[in-house]
Amino acid sequence: MAFNGEDILDEALSFAAKSLKSIGLPTHEKISPSFQKQIDFALRLPAWKCPPRSLARHSIDNFYLEDSTLNQYLLTFAKLDFNMVQSFHQQELRELSDWWKSIDVTTNFPYARDRLVESYYVFNCAYFEPKYGLGRIMGTKIFLVVTILDDTIDNFATFEEVRALVEAIDERFALYYPYICTRMVD
Answer for the pair 181, 174: CB distance below 8 angstroms, yes or no. yes
Q: How many CA atoms lie within 13 A of 122 on its CB side?
A: 11
pLDDT tens, 61-119? Answer: 888 877 777 788 988 898 999 999 999 999 999 999 999 999 999 999 999 999 999 99
Higher pLDDT, 169 or 33: 169
144 SS3 class: helix
| Model confidence band, residue 29 (pLDDT cutoffs 50, 70, 90) | low
Tell me the average pLDDT across 32-41.
79
pLDDT of residue 28: 55
- Report how far residue 67's alpha carbon sits from residue 51's, in angstroms, rounded to the nearest whole number: 23
Across the chain, mean pLDDT equals 85
Q: What pLDDT is stored for residue 144 in this prediction?
A: 96
Q: Cα(170)–Cα(116) distance, rounded to whole angstroms? A: 27
Of 45, 49, 65, nearest to 57 by C-alpha is 65
CA distance 153 to 155: 5
What pLDDT, on the 0 to 100 scale, is given for residue 59?
Answer: 86
Q: Say if residue 148's pLDDT is above 80.
A: yes
For residue range 3-12, list pLDDT tens digits in order.
Answer: 777 788 888 8
Q: 178: how many CB neighbours lie within 10 A of its CB? A: 10
